[in-house]
Amino acid sequence: MTVDVTQFFQAFFEESFEGLAAMESALLNLDIGAADSEAINRIFRAAHSIKGGAATFGFTAVAEFTHLVETLMDQIRSGQRAVTQPDVEILLHSVDCMHAMLDAVRDGSAVNQEQIAAVSQELQASLAGGAIASVATPAAQQSSMSAPKAIPNEKAATNGLWKINFVPLSHLLKTGNDPVRMFRELSGLGALRVAVNDKNLPPFLDMVPDNVYLEWELVLEANVDEKAISEVFEWVDGDCELTIQSPQPTPEISAPPAQKAAVQAPKAATPTTPQAPKTGAPASTHPKSGMKEADKKPVGASSAETSSIRVSIDKIDALVNMVGELVITQSMLGQLGKDFDMSRIDKLLDGLTQLERNTRELQENVMRIRMLPISFVFSRFPRMVRDLSQKLDKKIDLKMSGDQTELDKTVMEKIGDPLVHLVRNSIDHGVETHDKRVAAGKPETGVIQLDAYHQGGNIVISIADDGAGIDTERVLAKARKAGLVKEDETPTHERIVDLIFEPGLSTAEVVSDVSGRGVGMDVVRRNIQELGGTIDVRSVRGEGSSFTIRLPLTLAILDGQLVRVGDQTFIVPLVSIVESLQVKKELVNRVAGKAEVFKLRDDYIPIIRLYDMFGVHPENTLLEEGLLVVVEGDGVRAGLFVDDLLGQQQVVIKSLETNYRRVDGISGATILGDGHVALILDVSGLVKLSKNQGPTPQNDSDLALPRSAAA
């Protein structure tokens, strides 16, 4: 039978990455000297599973490397070796290597061989030196894993009559073994004659039914070696007396034993195939040859991470319950519809309310399926803080709370990098060095606090440190230099702190290895805004900074404000709305006779006439007759001129790109209660559009329809 093992690869990768994460967190929490045995077991088991799977699925390199880790952990587990800091370091590096190797086999990418070789050597050195008990050399271990086991006393296959005397001990059946099955196995090797000896059979009344009293003499005529026969009895070794008598040597080899061995040895040394007995007896064997290549080629689609999700059974059960309720409501309404009269209108309304509740609950629960705890992202931070603080010679405690707070998988995948950047910033620029802290009268160990919690349909993630805080003078100086703040302007503290999100305002004194490379805070903010979220910063000089990120729980649903322009309804994401107001004529100015701005307290805010931008016939063209919805996108404010505000509601986001293409200023569409499509505004895009020009009337000719694929 052929089983395509590649179908199990994805499950293997998923569980291996989970295992690595578990290993890492257990390693980080390991108390040197007083290690918790359950934690050690957990690390061991993870390594053990990865090794087993990797070997089974043909990722030999991964299996061999992991074997070293497993061996080390096994020694710790069995008490042969104490947990030491250097070993923990090596193991942490090993986790990185295993991760890299697994990534490489999954994606078919290259892996840093030197790094792996180096860590592998460290592991071997530690194994060779550290263990009290003797440890086989790594080379030997590896070969014992991957190569067919060499049987030292192996005899060449000999044709003839094998005599086997098999005397089971009385408890043999209790091991689940059965002489009859073994004989069947033997008869597969050749012609078998069985003679039973019942001399030990007790009188019936003395007989214990579970015991074996019989002995057997077997004669097997087969061209096999002794190993093939002893393999049949391998599992009952110790549960029986077994003698296997080889066929009588043929006359020409009836030489002295030493010579006999010499004659037979060459035969034994040239087996035509490795011992992969037909019986499938447990000799170590190579993975199937076809699988060996698996180490080199990509084995899963590169989208392996996103293509499946693990859902806890609780969530599914909740869903099943909900559907059950929905069915009940439906049948109730169905009944009502059969013989309806106006006297039962109350019942109908009740039913509809129930239906609405069922639908809402169902929707919430379906969305919940895509939700994962943020620990998936948080789990990388203990390691990061540890490594970086070591590198920078700082003492930092990382405290985390709310790591079970759930959010949408897609949001999670996209928030990881911004969070890493923020935490790095806190380590690098936030928390001061040891002596600076002492000089400032602060505890020498800095604290970085990561929190996550839900707040009204959003997830809030905050990163706070008790470090130096943002140097507002430096920021202001830089901003002045960059022309972001005029010389005579004295912005508020909040405004200055907010400036760090402007491009090109990284304030690191030294561009260090840790942060200050490539991405800046402007990118962080943009990424968060792309997810429909916001980021705020608060900072007190000398006391620390805190960043607060608010994200929608899911990208599939959005809280929207419905606005009307002419006969069209558009949806403005609530998160980007600052306020809505009716504008007074005298507050509006035309800059350079064209662009309109209005004065909102201290700011001048450009006006975007949506009807103009979108080519819709409006009800009002006079600003004072409609409404201005003040929105903020990419840190820039603008007033959207609309005819009217309609309701607020949650809308399900549909892609325009599935069948059409991206449209500037529009982030998607949704279906309203009446079945019609309404477009969702992309506020940042609109602001950008309005800066460049007015509307962009496009001519038909070159706009190929399904071009969106390329967009």
Partner 1 sequence: MAKILAVDDSASMRQMVVFTLKAAGHDVVEAQDGMQALEIAKGQQVDLVLTDVNMPNMDGISLIKELRNLVNYKFTPILTLTTESSPEKKGEGKSAGATGWIVKPFSPDQLLATIRKVLG
Partner 2 sequence: MSNVATATDAQSTDLNAAEMSQYLTFIMATEEYGVDILRVQEIKGWDMVTPIPNTPDYIKGVINLRGTIVPIVDLRRRFGLPNIEYGPTTVVIVLKVYAEDGKERTMGIVVDAVSDVYNVTAKDMKDTPDFGADANIDFVRGLATVGEKMVIILEVDKMLTVGAMAALDRTKLN
Binding site for partner 2 (CB under 8 A): 568, 613-616, 654-656, 658-660, 663-666, 669, 671, 675-679, 695-707, 709-710
Q: DSSP character for 428?
A: I
Minimum distance from residue 287 beta carbon to partner 1 (Å): 6
The stretch among 283-291, 427-435, 465-473, 497-505 that binds partner 1 (CB under 8 A) is: 283-291
The position carrying tokens 């429909």 is: 532
Minimum distance from residue 136 beta carbon to partner 2 (Å): 54
> What DSSP assignment string belongs to 561-622?
EEEEETTEEEEEEGGGEEEEEPPPGGGEEEETTTEEEEEETTEEEEEEEHHHHHT---S--S
Three-state DSSP at 270 gives coil
Minimum distance from residue 207 beta carbon to partner 1 (Å): 16
Q: Which does 663 bind (CB under 5 to 8 A by kind): partner 2, partner 1, none?
A: partner 2
Q: Where are the strands (E) in 148-285, listed by range?
A: 158-168, 191-197, 215-224, 240-245
Tell me the one-letter amino acid at 380: R
Q: Which does 1 bind (CB under 5 to 8 A by kind): partner 2, partner 1, none?
A: partner 1
Q: What is the rounded distance in angstroms from the CA atom of residue 434 to the CA atom of residue 83?
A: 28
> What DSSP assignment string belongs to 652-704?
E-B-STTTS--BTTEEEEEE-TTS-EEEEE-HHHHHHHHHH-S-----STT--
* Active-site hit among 425, 429, 502, 527: 425
Q: DSSP character for 447?
A: E
Contact status: 53 vs partner 1 (CB under 8 A): yes
Contact status: 181 vs partner 1 (CB under 8 A): yes
Minimum distance from residue 120 beta carbon to partner 1 (Å): 19
- 89 among known catalytic residues: no
Q: 237 or 700, CB closer to partner 2?
A: 700
> Do 651 and 556 touch, CB atoms closer than 8 A?
no
Q: Which of 557, 562, 561, 587 is nearest to 651 (CA)?
A: 557
Q: What angle do CA 290, 294, 296 make, to 5 degrees?
A: 125
Contact status: 169 vs partner 1 (CB under 8 A): no
* Site size for partner 1 (CB under 8 A): 52
**Is 573 exposed, middle or buried, given 0-12, 13-18 or 19+ CB atoms closer than 10 A?**
buried
Tell me the one-letter amino acid at 284: S
Show the binding pattern over residues 592-631: x = contacts partner 1 (CB under 8 A), - = does not: ----------------------------------------
Minimum distance from residue 531 beta carbon to partner 2 (Å): 22
Minimum distance from residue 684 beta carbon to partner 2 (Å): 16
Tell me the one-letter amino acid at 547: F
Q: Show contacts with partner 1 in window 428-457 (CB under 8 A).
A: none
Tell me the one-letter amino acid at 379: S
- 425 among known catalytic residues: yes
Q: Which long-range contacts (CB under 8 A, 24 or more apart) does 129-136 make?
A: 130/75, 130/81, 130/84, 130/87, 131/75, 131/80, 131/81, 132/80, 132/81, 133/75, 133/80, 135/71, 135/75
Cβ atoms within 10 Å, residue 81: 20
Q: Which does 673 bind (CB under 5 to 8 A by kind): partner 2, partner 1, none?
A: none
Q: Which does 599 bind (CB under 5 to 8 A by kind): partner 1, partner 2, none?
A: none
Q: Which does 595 bind (CB under 5 to 8 A by kind): partner 2, partner 1, none?
A: none
Q: What is the rounded distance in angstroms from the CA atom of residue 618 to the CA atom of residue 113?
A: 65
Contact status: 63 vs partner 1 (CB under 8 A): yes
Show the binding pattern over residues 658-687: x = contacts partner 1 (CB under 8 A), - = does not: ------------------------------
> Do 129 and 36 touch, CB atoms closer than 8 A?
no
- 48 among known catalytic residues: yes
Q: 5 or 111, CB closer to partner 1?
A: 5
Say what the alpha-carbon torsion angle 204, 208, 209, 211 is, to the nearest 10 degrees. Answer: -120
Contact status: 266 vs partner 1 (CB under 8 A): no
Sole binder of partner 1 in the list 109, 137, 170, 234 (CB under 8 A): 234
Q: Which does 210 bind (CB under 5 to 8 A by kind): partner 1, partner 2, none?
A: partner 1
Contact status: 134 vs partner 1 (CB under 8 A): no
Show the binding pattern over residues 190-229: x = contacts partner 1 (CB under 8 A), - = does not: --------------------x-------------------
Q: 239 or 406, CB closer to partner 1?
A: 239
* Active-site hit among 70, 231, 406, 432: 70
**Is 680 exposed, middle or buried, given 0-12, 13-18 or 19+ CB atoms closer than 10 A?**
buried
Minimum distance from residue 682 beta carbon to partner 2 (Å): 11
Minimum distance from residue 659 beta carbon to partner 2 (Å): 5
**CA dist 115 to 96, 111, 241, Å?**
10, 9, 52
Residues known to be catalytic: 48, 70, 425
Please give the residue ranges that form the binding site for partner 1 (CB under 8 A): 1-3, 5, 7-9, 11-12, 14-15, 41-42, 44-45, 48-49, 51-53, 55-57, 63, 70, 144, 149, 173-178, 180-181, 185, 210, 234-235, 238-239, 276, 278-285, 287-288
